[in-house]
């Protein structure tokens, strides 16, 4: 017979330690309930933070739009009229 290896001795030690611990039949249910509670709390916090960031961005945008002067922010400031046709137009069909 060969001498016991370290992993065999370690396995025997763990089995002996596990045999001394009594099994709790409600342990899984308690841990599962605690996990679900943490999961719900985490999702609620993420939803609240997302709502807060959205509301802050919305408020900052509305504040910036409200503070601006409508006469200074002109996108198209070309005052000359666009060149158009000067003569009669040849059209097909009714005008």
The structural domains of the chain, with segments of one domain joined by +, span 28-67
For the chain, what is the HEC assignment? CCCCCHHHHHHHHHHHHHHCCCCCCCHHHHHHHHHHHHHHHHHHHHHHHHHHHHHHHHHHHHHHHHHCCCCCCCCCCCCCCCCCCCCCCCCCCCC
Which band of pLDDT confidence, cut at 50, 70 and 90, is reported for residue 21? confident
Question: Is this model's pTM higher than 0.75 or not?
Answer: no
Residue reference for tokens 């922010």: 73
Q: Residue 57 above 50 pLDDT?
A: yes
Q: Give the C-alpha separation, 70 to 55, whole Å.
A: 24
């Amino acid at each position: 017979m060969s001498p016991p290896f370290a992993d065999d001795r370690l396995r025997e030690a763990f089995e002996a330690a596990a045999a001394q611990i009594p099994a709790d039949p409600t342990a899984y249910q308690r841990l599962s309930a605690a996990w679900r509670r943490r999961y719900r709390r985490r999702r609620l916090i993420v939803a609240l933070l997302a709502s807060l960031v959205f509301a802050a961005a919305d408020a900052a945008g509305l504040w910036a739009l409200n503070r601006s002067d409508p006469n200074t922010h002109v996108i198209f400031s070309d005052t000359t009229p666009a060149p158009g046709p000067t003569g009669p137009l040849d059209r097909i069909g009714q005008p």
